[in-house]
Structure 1
Amino acid sequence: MQIFDKIISDRGSRYAVSGGPAGNRAEVDAMLAELKRNKRFAKATHNSWAAILGGEPVKDDDGESGAGQLMLQMLDRAGLQDHVIVVTRWYGGKHLGGDRFRHVADAVRHYLTETGLG
């Protein structure tokens, strides 16, 4: 699993993006458990994730409504299958409105660029 921490900060909210290969839901769950072994990520407000596993889209917004769907669209456009991407947000006390979607998209783009998958 690759983790890119503290990549975006806006009005107190902070973002990280993580990911790695996953061929099935059990591997996704194992990767999420590994990420959350780090107390910082376990205490995050949201750990939204998405993956296309064997051609089937799966996602979990983890309370960040719409984030998983946006991530799925980006994975589909990139042609990335059997790989999970997790966008983590620590809420900073101020609502971001639509900017939160821009930050999720920027985090996924950061991951794709840094890993050479995009």
Structure 2
Amino acid sequence: MLFSSNARTNSARNISDIPTLYRIIECDICPTDRDNDYMLTLKSDSETTREIEVRRSRFIAYACRADSSDAAHRIVNSRRTRYPDARHHCSAYVISQEGMNPLLHSSDDGEPSGTAGPPILQVISHSGLSNLVVVVTRYFGGTLLGTGGLTRAYSDATAAVLDAAPKVSLVRQDIYQTEVSTDVAGKVEAELRAAGFHIDEVRWGALVDIKVVTNTPDELSSKLSSLLRDSVTVQKVGSREVEM
């Protein structure tokens, strides 16, 4: 995939900046929009590396979670440090922004314009994933691959690493709080966990505050009422994103 001739492949851009012919994310169905209830991404703290060889050139692809452009750039720099003798460290990232279109960025890092960063970005975008960065480090093997060969190599390396990377759905869920007496708090916490509820926090005092992450508050209230044999009040106190 190539962007328009006046596009700069080494600069951050929003999807609206890309001509319609070359637009690679359709935002009306794209799961990376933070206004939706979920986002597909890579598992936090995961790092995946895959290597392919094309006519003795090595393409080392690395993928990991990046929740901001600053984080993505730090990761790119860390790959430069990891392979200081490599000629190219080409990269791309997609970062979801709440209430805005995804932030897209690609870098050819010295490869012929449009042959490295944009193909990496295209594969990321077609995967439906967001909040990640892919860096492909190239060691030149002595044979020129041409623009078509480079595009295929960077695309294939990216596809290989994304296929292997562990993926999760990042789901926005509400946080509900309830108070129980100290003599039953341990049992309540254990029973809620056993029932599949995600406990966000337990704070002990004269009463015990239990915060639960869930989008089914009625089920939570019903479970608590059953455990305590009494009506229970649950109060929404916030929300957070949870990996599923």
Provide TM-score, normalisation by structure 2: 0.44
1:17·1:87 contact (CA, 8 Å) conserved in 2? yes
Q: Does 1:53 align with 2:131?
A: no
SS in 2 for 1:17: strand
Displacement of 1:26 = 1.1
How do residues 1-118 of structure 1 correspond to structure 2 at under 5 angstroms?
2-4=47-49, 7-38=51-82, 41-54=83-96, 55-64=102-111, 65-66=113-114, 67-97=116-146, 98-117=148-167
Can you list the C-alpha shifts for 1:42-70, whole angstroms capped at 9, x where unaligned?
A: 22111110011120111111012311111
SS in 2 for 1:107: helix
Q: Relative contact order: is structure 1 or structure 2 higher (C-alpha 8 Å, sep ≥ 6)? A: 1
Provide TM-score, normalisation by structure 1: 0.86
SS in 2 for 1:28: helix
Query: Tell me, which stretches of 5 or more residues in structure 1 are unaligned?
Result: none
- Report the Cα distance in structure 2 between the residues aligned to 1:52 and 1:3, rounded to whole angstroms: 17
SS in 1 for 2:75: helix
How many residue pairs get matched? 114
2:92·2:106 contact (CA, 8 Å) conserved in 1? yes
- Report the Cα distance in structure 1 between the residues aligned to 2:89 and 2:81, rounded to whole angstroms: 13
SS in 2 for 1:42: coil
- Report the Cα distance in structure 2 between the residues aligned to 1:17 and 1:26, rounded to whole angstroms: 20
Query: Tell me, which stretches of 5 or more residues in structure 2 are unaligned?
Result: 1-45, 97-101, 168-244
Aligned letter for 1:33?
N
Aligned letter for 2:90?
S
Displacement of 1:113 = 1.1
Displacement of 1:71 = 1.4
- Report the Cα distance in structure 1 between the residues aligned to 2:120 and 2:78, rounded to whole angstroms: 21
Displacement of 1:18 = 0.4
Aligned letter for 1:53?
I
2:49·2:63 contact (CA, 8 Å) conserved in 1? no
Displaced runs of 4+ in structure 1, greater than 6 A? none
